[in-house]
């Protein structure tokens, strides 16, 4: 009887050891496994109500699937999650909340670089705010050949791109689309394009 009981205990111990070993191996494999690429598509539509509360805050959940506030919150969250770098290349940037988010990232130690369309844009208050922090910014001096890109690279791993300028008009009153992705081959193409532009355009 004791022998039988001992055999059962030994068997249970062996099973437990094997199970633990498999768990440890699985955890080690997944620890080094590359996270699956993500793609998020944001579709903007003009707000029908001019007095909609969504215009005043990006934290309101109004229930509209294509709510401008909810969509833009995804962009804000991506910028807020930046740990190392943010490279922005947009035709126009005059959305106060997005400008403040960029400044906050820079203030907490994130390396920020900004390319905008031309020298006329630097007179808007949002760009003046960014300039006041000495955030590196470049723009084309030739106002007849527009830099018309709208993209941003966060930590060299996240890409934000689409039709939308980073303006209040675009976020609330236009039909726009924005794509946020971690697909490495696409992010790499935009990252290379930014670096080439940064080296080409003079300060």
pLDDT beyond 90 at 147? no
37: pLDDT confidence band, cut at 50, 70 and 90? confident
Q: 37-200 is classed in which CATH architecture?
A: 2-Layer Sandwich (3.30)
Can you tell me the distance from the alpha carbon of 190 to that of 195, in angstroms, rounded to the nearest whole number?
9
Confidence at residue 28, expressed as pLDDT on a 0 to 100 scale:
60
Domains of the chain: which residue ranges? 1-33, 37-200
pLDDT above 80 (res 145): no
Active-site annotation, residues = 148, 150, 155
pLDDT over 90 (residue 18): no
- Cα-Cα-Cα-Cα torsion 136, 166, 184, 32, nearest 10 degrees, comes to 80
Residue 146's pLDDT is what?
A: 80
* pLDDT tens for each residue of 41-62: 998 888 766 555 565 555 555 6
Helix H, strand E, coil C: the string for 30-83 is: HHCCCCCCCEEEEEECCCCCCCCHHHCCCCCCCCCCCCHHHHHHHHHHHHHCCC
% of the chain beyond a pLDDT of 90? 44
CA-based angle 37:40:41, to the nearest 5?
140
pLDDT of residue 196: 94
SS3 106: helix
* Type and span of the H or E element at 92: none
Report yes or no: 179 and 41 within 8 Å, Cβ to Cβ. yes
Q: Taking a C-beta distance cutoff of 8 angstroms, is the pair 161, 152 a contact? A: yes
Q: Tell me: the pLDDT tens digits for 95-133?
A: 999 999 999 999 999 999 999 987 666 678 888 899 899
DSSP state of 167: S
Higher confidence at residue 187 or residue 26? 187
Residue 116 has phi, psi (to 5 degrees) of -120, 175
The overall average pLDDT reported for the chain is 81
Strand partners, 85: 111
Q: Position of tokens 């994130």?
A: 110
What mean pLDDT comes out for the span 80-90?
A: 97
Beta strands in the chain (DSSP E): 39-44, 85-90, 111-118, 137-140, 150-154, 158-162, 176-181
Residues 6+ apart with CB under 8 A from 15: none
Query: Which of 4-13, 63-72, 188-197 is the least confident region?
Result: 4-13
For the record, the structure tokens of 4 come out as 């039988």
Which of the residue ranges 60-69, 158-167, 172-181, 194-203 would you say has the lowest mean pLDDT? 60-69
pLDDT of residue 127: 86
């Amino acid at each position: 009887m004791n022998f039988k009981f001992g055999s059962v205990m030994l068997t249970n111990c062996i099973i437990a050891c094997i199970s633990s070993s498999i768990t440890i191996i699985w955890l080690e494999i997944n620890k080094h496994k590359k996270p699956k690429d993500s793609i998020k598509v944001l579709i903007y539509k003009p707000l029908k109500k001019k007095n909609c509360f969504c215009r005043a805050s990006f934290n309101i959940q109004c229930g509209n699937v294509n709510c401008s506030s909810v969509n833009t919150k995804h962009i804000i969250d991506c910028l807020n999650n930046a740990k190392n770098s943010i490279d922005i290349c947009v035709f126009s940037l005059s959305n106060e909340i997005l400008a403040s988010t960029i400044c906050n990232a820079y203030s907490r130690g994130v390396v920020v670089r900004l390319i905008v369309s031309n020298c006329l844009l630097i007179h808007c208050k949002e760009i003046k705010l960014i300039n006041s922090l000495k955030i590196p910014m470049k723009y084309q001096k030739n106002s007849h050949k527009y830099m018309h890109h709208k993209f941003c690279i966060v930590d060299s791993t996240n890409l934000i791109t689409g039709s939308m300028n980073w303006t209040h008009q675009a976020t609330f009153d236009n039909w726009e689309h924005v794509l946020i992705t971690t697909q490495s081959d696409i992010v790499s193409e935009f990252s290379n394009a930014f670096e080439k532009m940064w080296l080409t355009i003079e300060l």
